[in-house]
Amino acid sequence: MNILDVVTPCSKATANHRKSFATDGEIINTLLKHNMSGLYRPVEVCKLLDTMEILDRSLNDSNFRKLMKIRNHRVHDFVANAIDLCEPMKVFVCSDKEEDISYIRKTAVARGEETELANPNHTVHFDGFYDQARDKERTVYLVPKSESLGDQLFQMDRQEGLDMVKRRLKGSMHNKKLVVRFFCLGPVDSPFSVPCVQITDSFYVAHSEDLLYRQGYEYFKKLPNDAEIFWMLHSSGKLVHATSIDWDKRGVAIDYKENTVYSVNTQYAGNTIGLKKLALRLAIRKADREDWLAEHMFLMAVHGPDERKTYFTGAFPSGCGKTSTSMVPGATIVGDDIAYLKTIDDEIRGVNVESGIFGIIRSVSQESDPIIWNVLHSDRPAIFSNVLVHDGVPYWLDDGRETPKRGVNHSGIWYEGKVDANGEEILPSHKNARYTIKLEGLPNLDDGLDKPNGVPIGGIIYGGRDPDTWVPVQQSFSWAHGVITMGASLESETTAATLGKSGVRKFQPFSNMDFVSIPLGDYIQNHLHFGEFVPKAPRIFAVNYFLKDDGGNYLNAKEDKRVWLQWMDLRIHKEADAIRTPTGYIPLYSDLKRLFETHLGKVYSEEDYETQFAVRVPELIAKIVRIREIYQDSVENVPDILYRLLDEQQERLEQARAKFGDIISPVQFL
């Protein structure tokens, strides 16, 4: 059989295309083998050749050969379809080689997407003035007509959504270069691995992913054709001064039937870096099918007595102390944002799916976050976004330094007193300004980062911004009690990490509400089942770093979280007693007094203890009422145990109020 016999029936096959094919015997042999074995019907062979024709005319020889070394024909199709839709001027296929990765950063600077700072290893990126956070309102799930994800998720008809995506992406890369990236979520070649393809026209996005994720080009070369892959296609759209100008047509669409995320007319990393929260939405569906959990969680190790390490995961909404908890002095970090949890050898183990940090920089100071502060002032590579730059030095809110009176920020040239179109003052740095760094080389990096089977999880922590209800730390009575009253009942005040008004109390179950891509009732049932039959399930805890007094002052210092973590470690290893309250177990004063002195060198008064750990009955009951009504009114297939455990908790609170009053000192429960 001659290659021309296969090519001729295909309308898009040109003479140049056939000539190019004749230079690569391996590709020809593969196609002929497929055709002769009957693996593909003639129409499928034509599709393969049409794909190759697009790639052949769009890629130069070097990039064509790099792509062809990946034998997965679905990768070829995805790249060809993106080229056909977005119509880029050129295409760059990035391998794992240092020269390719270096080219990404250099081009981000050359195109003005990033600007080098006084430290030559640091750059700054500015998103558009109105493109500063995850846009939940324009993130939509594409759902077939016969399916529903529940009322809590924004969704539209799949075909209508795909048509909308294609209209917005059509020709969106004119005069730009399309970049093809290959990464792996989780350690490479492990039970947790998820291969990902990111296509983007933003070299800032591509550069950010080099700091945040494990390279995957070599891994892709070994992938079988039937491997499950996550696909991401992003275009910044029209640019002026290297920022997206059609932000009012910004959108993210998630086609979970094809494991594909589309993003257009935006540059903010939370909307564009497909491997982050966008891939989390796909991973939650994959976990649902395969009986594991994909969570918005940090992963870190608390170092306890006798050099013991206990691994914790923790779910906190953005801006609520998640990264700072994973980075507390004396602990070691595995990851600060997204974890996969699986049962391996009868224990729950976890991995950080990332290998870097995209963190909120506000309030990072030498005093409160010394590790991050030192990294950001070292020669380690870093990208700053939406900060104030003066004389090549980045500044951000609450950084402990005197803020310059002038500089450059996300609004352009900035000066003290500058206002926006509505007359509101523009702050020197955005509240949601960020830093992007690698984990590799951090002095507190745990040795479990790349272990193929992950690390054993001893505890799970839930926390949010709560000014008046939860105590600083408590432990659940059981796995189910923790899942329902702490995870599924989590609330938090909003922050600048998402668009909209800050300081509004929001329902945030498992700190994953923005990313849950299955019906919420099913998601809760998955959690209940996941730990139910594990011989040694992790203990579940709740924390609250944001409890305030009547004057609006915080009742705890930022560093107090070190003590709460040490107490949790003691509880897991049965080395500390606790007081049983209506909502969970809380510490004894004597234990906290010792821990504060040992780990912080502070005197912890009994008065502070009684104020912080008082059981605030009216607020706790009001919370139960709110949570119950949300589930009754807007969530389908809620497990019956949720209502039963909430009712039992309310009954315990009512009984305690009848005996002790509205605000109950913890010593009353001794």
First to last CA, the chain: 86
Distance (Å) of CA 556 to CA 317, 427, 568, 604: 19, 27, 17, 11
Strand partners, 434: 360, 385
Backbone angles phi, psi at 571, to 5 degrees: -65, -40
**Residues 520 and 639 sit within 8 Å (Cβ to Cβ):** no
Of 278, 272, 292, 259, give the one whose Cα is nearest residue 200.
272
Q: Which residues contact 283 (CB under 8 A, 6 or more apart)?
A: 185, 194, 230, 294, 340, 353
Cα–Cα distance for residue pair 145/184, rounded to 1 Å: 32
Angle between the 42-58 and 73-86 helix axes, to the nearest 10 degrees? 60
**DSSP assignment of 548-594, as one string?**
B-TTS-BSS-GGGHHHHHHHHHHHHTT-S-EEE-SS-EEE-HHHHHH
Cα–Cα distance for residue pair 75/84, rounded to 1 Å: 14
Cα–Cα distance for residue pair 515/139, rounded to 1 Å: 10
Q: Which residues contact 308 (CB under 8 A, 6 or more apart)?
A: 569, 573
**Residues 386 and 131 sit within 8 Å (Cβ to Cβ):** no
Burial class (CB in 10 A: 0-12, 13-18, 19+), 602: middle
The set of catalytic residues is 320
Cα–Cα distance for residue pair 272/378, rounded to 1 Å: 27
Q: Tell me the H-state helices in 24-157.
A: 25-37, 42-58, 61-68, 73-86, 98-110
